[in-house]
Amino acid sequence: MKKDHTSPAAFPQAEIGREMKGADCVVECLIREGVDVIFAYPGGASQELHQSLARTDKIRTILPRHEQGGSFAAEGYARATGKVGVCMATSGPGATNLVSAIADAFMDSIPMVAITGQVFSKYIGKMAFQETDFYGMTLPIVKHSYLVMDVKDLPRIFKEAFYLARSGRPGPVVIDIPKDVQQAKFQPVFPATVEFRSSYATATFKAPDDQLKQVLALIAEAKRPVLYAGGGIISAEAHADLKAFAEKTNVPVATTLMGVGGFPESHPLSMQWFGMHGAAYGNWAVDQCDLLLCFGARFDDRITGDTNKFATQAKIVHVDIDASEHNKNKRVTLPIVSDIKPALVRLNELAAAHKFVPPDTSAWHAQIATWKKDHPFRFEESKHIVPQEAVAALYELTKGDAIITTGVGQHQMWAAQFYRFNEPRRFISSLGLGAMGFGYPAAMGAKVACPDKQVIDIDGDGSFIMNIQELATCHIEKIAAKAMILNNQHLGMVVQWEDRFYGSVRGNTILGDETNVGGPDNLTGLYPDFVKIAEGFGVKGRRVHKKSELKAAIQEMLDHDGPFVLDIIVPYTEHVLPMIPAGKSVKDMILK
C-alpha cells in the first residue's frame, strides 16, 4: 500500500503548521532549511512566491538583473560557504535562463536549489504562454527534478530537495511549482527527516579498514608516490585531514583546479595544480609516479589528456563517494567507495595506530624540487602590463587573503597560476562547464556570503560583458564585489588556439574594432569603455595601462567601499603556458 506522504501519521515527528498558501509554505520551508538569501527574478508564474518573500524579514531577496546572473550568484554563495545556494525564476524564458548555472553546478558538484514558477496545472503540456517542460529539460543536469502537482507535497519535497543538494556528492535540484499550487491553501505537515524508497540516497559510505590498510601498504612500497586531490576534498571539508595525511606519509600533493586551496599551496609538499595549463612539475610528477592516490576527483579530460598515456607507470587508488566515477575515465588498481573525509580520518588513525613509517622517497622529492626550481610558473617582462603581472600584483597587495572568482578563459588560468591559495573556498570558478559570464555574478554571491572578505572577480573583457548588468544589482544592493578586467580586446584563449593550431587565422575572436584593435599602444581603439559603463550603473571605475600606475590602481580598487571596475589594458599576444594540447599527453606539453 502506497504511503501517504502528506499526512501527519506518515511522519511521527512532523510538525503541523497553520493554514497557509502554497507560496507561503515555500518560504517557510526555506526558513526551516536555514536559507538566509535567495537570488530571484519575478514574473507572472512566480509572482505569488515573491509576494510571500516580501512578507518575511528572515530571508534577503536579491533581485539580479538577469536570471543567469542570479543563478551564478547562488553558485558563488554556495561555493564560498558550502551551504546550499538558492535561486528562483518564473516559467518559460525565466526558467531556461537558469540552465547554464544548473549545468555548471552539476558538473562541479555544487549544492544548489533552483525554484521555478510554472503555468497553471491545467495548462501544462498545452504550450501555454511562457510554458516549458523545465522538469524534463533539466533531468540530465540535476541530482533530481520535482514538478509539484499537489500543494500538500511541498514540505516533503523541499525537505528532500535540500537534503539531496547537500548530501553525498552535492549538486543541483530543481523544484518547478505551478501557479495554482502556489495559490492553493492547505495545512502543511513539515517532516523532521527525509525518507526515500531507496536507502541509497541516505546511505553513509565509509571505506572498510581492509581497503584503507591496502592504501597504506601501497604507500609503504612506493618510491614515487603522488597524491591527486580534487574538489571532493573541499566539498567534504576534508582539507585539514588531507594535510595531516600528506605530512604523515610524506607524499607530494597536486590538486585539480576544483581542488585549489584544498591543500595549502605554500606547503613544501604542494605541487599546486596540474592538468592542461597546470604546473609542469605537477604534470611530470603524475606522469612518472609509481603510485597515484586520487582523492575526491574524477579523472577529467583536462587533467588526464589521453587517458591511455596518463600515469602509465602507476598503481592507482581512487577514493570517491560516487561509485559511477570508478573506472569510468581511467582504469584503476583499487577503487574505494567512500566519503573522502571519514576515509582520511580513518587513514590517519590507522597510520598512527600502526606507527606508519613513510618509505624513503628522498630521491623523488629531490627530483620534484629540481623541476620546481627549473620550471616555475613564469612570464616575460614587457614595457606593458602583462596579465600575469597584474594577478601577481593583486596577490601581493591582498597578501593572498581574498576570495577570487573568475570568468572563463586565459585570465582564469592566470588567476590560478599567479594567485596562491592556502585555504579552501577562495578560488571560485566555472571549471567543468567552463561558462563565460560566471565571474562577476559569482563574486556578487560570494560577497553576500562573506561580507567581511575582499571578493575580486579576475575577468576577461569577453567574459565580463556577458553579465555586466549585475553591476546594477551590486550598486542597488550595496554589494562591494570588485572586478579586475584583463582587457586584451580578444577572446584570448580561442586566439591562443588560433595562434598555436590554426595559423593565427582570426575566426571571429576580435572583440574590438577589427580595423583598430587598440591595446596598450593604441587606447583610441579600445571598445567598449568599461569605466563609462560602470559609471552608468553607479559604480566607480578606473582604466590603467601604465606599469607605473598598476599597484596604485589595484590599491584604489581594494580600498573602495563599494563595487569597483578596474580595467587593465594588456597585450593580446600573451599565451597561457604550460599547455598540454587537448587529447595529448604530458610528452606533448608546450613550455614556451
Question: In whole angstroms, how large is the CA radius of gyration of the chain?
Answer: 25
* Cα four-point dihedral sign 211, 215, 221, 222: positive
Choosing from 130, 211, 469, 555, the catalytic residue is: 130
Pairing of strands 455-460, 291-295: unpaired
| H or E element in which residue 534 lies | helix 530-536
Distance CA 364, CA 314 (A): 14
How large is the angle between the packed helices 340-353 and 239-249, nearest 10 degrees?
A: 30
DSSP E strands: which ranges in 210-366?
225-229, 253-255, 270-273, 291-295, 315-320, 334-337
Report how far Cα 315 is from the mean position of its chain's Cα atoms.
Answer: 29
Output phi, psi for 417, to 5 deg. -80, -40
- Do 120 and 183 contact (CB within 8 A), yes or no? no
Choosing from 28, 33, 48, 67, the catalytic residue is: 67
DSSP E strands: which ranges in 162-264?
172-178, 185-186, 189-190, 225-229, 253-255
Choosing from 83, 179, 243, 540, the catalytic residue is: 179
**Is 67 considered catalytic here?**
yes
| H or E element in which residue 61 lies | strand 60-62
Output phi, psi for 290, to 5 deg. -105, -5
- Do 253 and 297 contact (CB within 8 A), yes or no? no
Residue holding cell 509576494? 51
DSSP code at position 73: H
Which residues, listed in sequence order, are joined to residue 316 by a DSSP beta bridge? 292
Helix (H/G/I), strand (E/B), else coil: 337: strand
> Is the bond preceding 578 in cis, omega lying within 30 degrees of 0?
yes
DSSP E strands: which ranges in 310-381?
315-320, 334-337
CA–CA distances in Å: residue 456 to residues 56, 124, 315:
31, 43, 40
Choosing from 20, 107, 276, 493, the catalytic residue is: 493
**Is 137 considered catalytic here?**
no
Long-range contacts of 285-288, Cβ-Cβ distance < 8 Å, separation of 24 or more: 285/224, 285/226, 285/252, 285/254, 285/368, 285/371, 286/226, 286/228, 286/254, 286/310, 286/311, 286/314, 286/586, 287/311, 287/312, 287/585, 287/586, 288/224, 288/313
Choosing from 3, 15, 122, 129, the catalytic residue is: 129
**Is 514 considered catalytic here?**
no
**Is 129 considered catalytic here?**
yes
| H or E element in which residue 76 lies | helix 67-81
Distance CA 501, CA 496 (A): 8
- Do 53 and 40 contact (CB within 8 A), yes or no? yes
Residues serving a catalytic function are 67, 129-130, 179, 493
